[in-house]
A and B are shown apart, each in its own frame.
Chain A
Amino acid sequence: MSFNNRIGTFSSYDTMLRSLASRQKTLADAQEQVASGKRVIQSSDDPAAASLAERALQRIDRINSDLRALNVQKSNISLAESTLGDALSAMQRIRELTISAGNGSLDLSQQTAIANEIHSLRNTLLGYANRENSNGMPLFGGLGSAEQPFKETSSGVVYTGLSGQYSADANSIPYALDGYRTWMLSPTRDGVFDALFQVNQGNLRSTATTVQDLGSLRDTVYTIDFAPPGYVIKDDAGSTVASGTYNSGQSISFDGLALTVSGQPVSGDQLKLTPTYSIFQSLDKLVSALSAPATVNSKGQSISQALSAIDASMNLMQASRGQAGEYLNLADRIDTSLTARSDQLEKDRGQAVDLDMAEGISRLQTNQTAYEIALKSYAQFQKLTLFNYLD
């Protein structure tokens, strides 16, 4: 006979064992979660969360790498900025010395002493320009250079690096400043020309050139020939650039430049305007002018030309220094934003895979209790059999 509601003894033990095993597994999983602090231990626990956490981790690593690079950039630019500060102090001193050299009561030996100090400051400046960071990278290497971007050659100091600058972006500032823009002069950008008389039988004096129109500047040597009552200005190809009637103290303009010549010319007098390519070149000329007795050009003429170059150069250094300061501010903002992003990513990662400890522990306890109860009821159940009651 068979009843509708019978159960097999063997299978009921089997069912209970299966239930025990499954509770044991749940308990073991809960223990593993609490022990590791993670809700998602392998990817199959929650593939989307595991994948999100993995991506977040990679991005955090990348941000750390960018921050490390940013620190090097900050340290480079900061060193460059303070170097420019030192350079500007040196330039200030050079300026003072140059003006003091104009004192008419100085004799040659006193002038030479001033010239020597200027020369030594000039060498200090060159050292600043070639300064490197702790890794041997030049601070003013621009887009790339050999170890010493500013080289002494027979024709003066030459910038051997690549002029230009890397731009800053959302994650970085440049590693170096543009050396060309900081320490060199360009006739077509700065318009600094050295005006020296080749022949001055009259008593001509000239001021330094000033820039009237940037767009018209040219890189060429100008010669102004005086043939009273007029003058003719030619470039180095021999073409006439301008000509006119000479009036003492009146400004002469040509090719975007202007200068004022005073005094009375004698026919054959010639003023030559050579482009100045660097402050070093200008200082070298000043030093030789001060160390030797004046010949064609008066001391005053040399000094006024040098002062123009010094001022132009100081402007450039000041501008670079300002830009360095800008970059450092930007770096601070980048640092803050990268760090914030990294923190956010870490939070996202934690939310995805970390275990809420309170929830995890309470679940662990619940599972433990449930398992205990299951064990107890198994023990109770197997005592219940009719055979116990038959003698």
Chain B
Amino acid sequence: MGGLLNIGMRAVSANQTVLQVTGQNIANASTPGYSRQSVRLESASGQILTFGTIGSGVDVKSIERSNSDFISTQLQLTKSQNAADSQRLTKLERLESVFPTGTTGVGAAINDMLNAYSDVIAAPKDMTARYVVLSRSIEVAARIRSVQSQLSEMGDSVRSELRDKLDQTNGLIQNIALLNEQISRTLSGGKPANDLLDRRQQYVLELNDYVQTSQLNQEDGSLSLFVGNQAVVFGGLGATLGLTTDPLDSQINRIEMKRSGISVVLDDQVIGGGSIKGLMQFQQQDLEMARNLAGRLATTTAISLNTQHKLGLTMDNLAGSDIFQIADQVGASSSNPLASGQVGFVDPSQFKASSYLLRMDDMGGGGELIRQADGKSYSFTSLVQLGTQTIDGLNFQVSGAAAGDRMLFKPFASGGSDMEVLISSPRELAAGSPVELALGQSNTGTLGLMNLSVKAANPNLTDTISLDFKSVAGQIKYELKDSLGNVLLANQSYVPGQSIEYNGWALQMTGTPRQGDSATIQPANPSNINSNAGNARAMLSIADSPLIENGRLTDGYSNLIAQVGVRVQSVGFSADVSESIAANLSEQKSRLSDVNLDEEAARLIQFQQAYQASAKLLQVAQRIMDTILEQLR
């Protein structure tokens, strides 16, 4: 009797427990991170009698949690990678919108500005044509300023997002540390801590969304989390993550970890994933690339146009001045406060879209200059020797750098951010050339002028030089003579279309000269200024000059958008791949750990029945008891 009652009571209690756990599962079916729980029932051992054993009911052995640490860590890793990729992709898509194709882009503005010189060539004294050139130049400057300002804003917004995410991260770290304490206390008290474990696992998953961690289970049940080899959570102690600036590059941020009063700056390489990683990759690689490309295009355009403009004459017969405001050198940031460096712009056609790191050797006064975009390095034996070199069209002047010092040069990152047009009047447009060409009045051949332009400043630029053609052994040759008739260059072969350069000008002629023909370069006659468009021709030809990576200036922008587009596309592909891998693992985890409502519903029915049967058992046991008691009265 006692046995029956006992069995009944135990059965009722056990089935009630199962029903409760089933209820817990159903209630938490949609709770993120919840692992379904199941009850382990075991038959209780009974008394041994002569004819055999009668069991004494059912016991709840344990409540188990369907979870695999292995799958969970894999899931963390892949979600972390995906978080990094998709964060970087979001930012890259915004970056792409700064460089539109077609008529609203910087490339179209540069093209329109250069094409406008063609109308000045057709009518050099037409004020409207000149004014159009100026107003299009103003548009170029405005668009470039806008691009740089948008890029700068993106830099600021990345920084503030990093701060926000670090705040969230720090919150999660504290939560995990707290849970560690709770879990180790619960486990040391011999009780299972299923819900706490789930919660902690979920926090760790969320943390990995921000920054990837690796973990180690400790014996007391607490979980230690590491970023690289730095412990971010250890037992009940959590570190604080903060944002600092790179010592050399104020545009780049780094993460520092503070724990027990000690600060360590984390190396980028150890941060494997998470949206923080994505933001940092964007900041260091994508945003930098965009700023360098845009800055190089602006600097090349401005300097090339300024240089040619200064070689020309305005409508008032004065030498041209700078059209565009652009810095002619950029200062460097140095690890040694006593050292300073400037990078100057020398030859736009050689510019590369990169920053440069200078590293002094440990001894000897020499060092190397490393181009950051692709790692190419140039060695120098001394700072003085470096100062005489033109590297990638740039000149580096450094002083005060000692052994082991480092210096970062960013010639193009802010190029064009303050670009303005300095000319206000169409009369100041230096469309005229300081030299002019007259072909001999008695020429009998078919010489014609293709182009005469000034290529470089030269003290003898306006000296009168004549080219006299003679027939020598059946071939036409020419001599270069000065105004006194002295022969400067003799026996030159004439090739139609070939550039003849002297005293800073370059002359190209076509046609066939005959014996006795001549051509004379002389200083431009001031009364011809209204029909002199020699420098406007030179400005227009800048459009076709190989100025950007040996390609035409007007193709520079289309290369830029291709580079940005390829970057977006490739990160997009990575994000797709990492997303599908993460989805796959998530699916695996859910197969193991998630609640299936139909399953729980079936279990409900099953154990409801069992409960009813157990309750019936109790009722029977009670009736038997009553009967016996009845008899004993």
Residues of A within 8 A of B (CB): 1-2, 6-12, 14-15, 18, 42-48, 50-55, 57-58, 61-62, 64-66, 68-69, 72-73, 135-138, 141, 143-147, 160-169, 175, 180, 184, 186-189, 214-215, 219, 385-387, 390
Contact = CB atoms under 8 A, between A and B. Distances in A.
Contacts of A61: 108, 111-112, 115
B528 A162 contact: yes
Given A141-B531, A390-B605, A9 B596 contact: yes
B120 to A, nearest CB: 10
Given A47-B566, A61-B111, A164-B449, A390 B436 contact: no
Contact of A55 (B93, B555, B586, B596): B555
B562 A7 contact: no
Given A11-B590, A165-B448, A137 B595 contact: no
Which of B437, B528, B602 has the most chain A CB within a 10 Å cutoff?
B528
Given A10-B590, A137-B123, 15 more contacts: A6-B596, A9-B29, A43-B96, A44-B92, A48-B562, A51-B559, A64-B115, A69-B119, A135-B122, A144-B531, A147-B530, A161-B528, A164-B449, A189-B444, A385-B598
A387 B555 CA distance: 66
Contacts of B572: 44
Which of B437, B511, B590, B601 has the most chain A CB within a 10 Å cutoff?
B590
Contacts of A72: 122-123
A54 B565 contact: no
Contacts of B554: 58, 62
B5 interface: no
A239 B543 CA distance: 57
Contacts of A51: 558-559, 561-562, 565
A386 B449 contact: no
B107 A54 contact: yes
25 contacts: A6-B591, A7-B596, A8-B596, A9-B596, A10-B595, A12-B590, A42-B101, A42-B568, A43-B99, A43-B568, A44-B96, A44-B565, A47-B569, A54-B558, A55-B555, A137-B123, A141-B531, A144-B528, A146-B525, A147-B530, A164-B438, A215-B515, A387-B601, A390-B601, A390-B605
Interface string B104-118: 010110011001101
Interface string B419-461: 0000000000000000011111111100111100000000000
Given A136-B125, A164-B439, A166-B448, A50 B565 contact: yes
A62 B543 contact: yes
A46 B450 CA distance: 41
Contacts of B531: 137-138, 141, 144-147
A163 B438 CA distance: 5
A245 B108 CA distance: 79
Interface in B527-565: 527-528, 530-532, 543, 554-555, 557-559, 561-565
B592 interface: yes
A32 B396 CA distance: 49
Interface in B75-104: 92-93, 96-97, 99-103
Interface in B570-605: 572, 583, 586-587, 590-599, 601-602, 605
Given A43-B564, A146-B528, A162-B438, A69 B121 contact: yes
Contacts of A65: 115-116, 118-119
B441 A180 contact: yes
Contacts of A55: 555, 558
Contacts of A165: 439, 448-449
A189 B442 contact: yes
Given A11-B587, A69-B122, A162-B438, A42 B448 contact: no
B449 A54 contact: no
Contacts, number: 220
Nearest to B36: A8
B91 to A, nearest CB: 13
A10 B99 contact: no
Contact of B562 (A43, A57, A147, A169): A43
Given A11-B590, A50-B561, A163 B601 contact: no
B386 interface: no
Contacts of A52: 558
A79 B556 CA distance: 40
A145 to B, nearest CB: 6
Nearest to A141: B531
Nearest to A187: B442
A54 B102 contact: yes
Contacts of A10: 29-30, 32, 590, 594-595
A189 B517 CA distance: 11
A47 B565 contact: yes
Which of A12, A46, A53, A143 has the most chain B CB within a 10 Å cutoff?
A143
A143 B101 contact: no
A323 to B, nearest CB: 10
B549 to A, nearest CB: 13
B389 to A, nearest CB: 33
Interface of B: 29-30, 32, 38, 66, 92-93, 96-97, 99-103, 105, 107-108, 111-112, 115-116, 118-119, 121-126, 436-444, 447-450, 509-511, 515-516, 519, 525, 527-528, 530-532, 543, 554-555, 557-559, 561-566, 568-569, 572, 583, 586-587, 590-599, 601-602, 605
A75 B509 CA distance: 25
Contacts of A164: 437-439, 443, 447-449, 519
A256 B518 CA distance: 20
A307 to B, nearest CB: 23
Contacts of A138: 531
A104 to B, nearest CB: 39
A43 B567 CA distance: 10
A53 B108 CA distance: 12
Nearest to A134: B123
A58 B108 contact: yes
Given A10-B595, A47-B562, A69-B118, A186 B29 contact: no
B219 to A, nearest CB: 28
For the complex of A and B, list the 7 residue pairs with the smallest distance between their C-beta atoms, beginning with the closest: A8-B594, A164-B439, A43-B565, A167-B448, A11-B590, A47-B565, A44-B568
B603 to A, nearest CB: 10
Contacts of A215: 515-516
Contact of A58 (B107, B437, B562): B107
B44 to A, nearest CB: 21
Nearest to B123: A135
Contacts of A141: 531
A313 to B, nearest CB: 15
Nearest to A8: B594
B126 to A, nearest CB: 6
B543 to A, nearest CB: 7
A9 B597 contact: yes
B555 to A, nearest CB: 6
A287 to B, nearest CB: 25
A283 to B, nearest CB: 20
A296 B605 CA distance: 146
B438 A44 contact: no
A48 B440 CA distance: 51
Contacts of B587: 11, 15
A8 B591 contact: yes
A12 B29 CA distance: 12
A175 to B, nearest CB: 7
Contact of A8 (B124, B564, B595): B595
